[in-house]
Amino acid sequence: MEKVPLTEQGFARLDAELKKLKLEERPAVIKAIAEAREHGDLSENAEYHAAREKQSFIEGRIKELESVISRAEVIKVSRMSGSIKFGATVTIADEDTDEEKTYQIVGEQEADIEKGKLNMKSPLARALIGKDEGDSVEVRTPGGTRSYEVVSIAYK
């Protein structure tokens, strides 16, 4: 089985979500199903069907999280240094607009562009990996080729 790289924070977040699903969400939905059954005819019982649908989602997410956690390779980012690699927090500047953005390069399970978590398989992350401060990279985007300069690299 393929290992899933995760930062310590990412692993903790997924583990907390799994515990919440198992200890809070699952028992709550089981209780909701039991209460909905008491209302009688299940064929026209919207509460019952909604609770069963929610239960299906919760069970699916639990299985997904258990799979990811069992294959997790937790990487201690704070012990790393040097050129850009998994876990690096990178500040880049668009060479056309001088607009700066900061991203942390993470695995697929942690990626959230809105929070500055960049999937290591994305075109931008792949272009940045192996680069040092001051290096320039070109990235093909749907809007055309963009050039960025690596302003800083940190491992937090």
Q: Are residues 81 and 149 in the same domain?
A: yes
Residue 44: per-residue pLDDT: 75
Which domain range does residue 136 map to? 77-154
Nearest to 3 by CA among 123, 156, 120: 120
Residues 122 and 146 in one domain: yes
- Dump pLDDT digits (tens) for 105-152: 999 999 999 999 999 999 999 999 999 999 999 998 888 899 999 999
Domain boundary among 75, 104, 137: 75
At 55, the amino acid letter reads: Q
8 and 71 share one domain: yes
Half-sphere exposure of 8 (CA within 13 A, CB side): 6
Residue 99 shares a structural domain with residue 145:
yes
Separation between Cα atoms, residue 133 and residue 24, nearest integer Å: 46
| Angstrom distance (rounded) from CA 109 to CA 113 | 12
pLDDT confidence tier of residue 16, bands split at 50, 70 and 90: very high
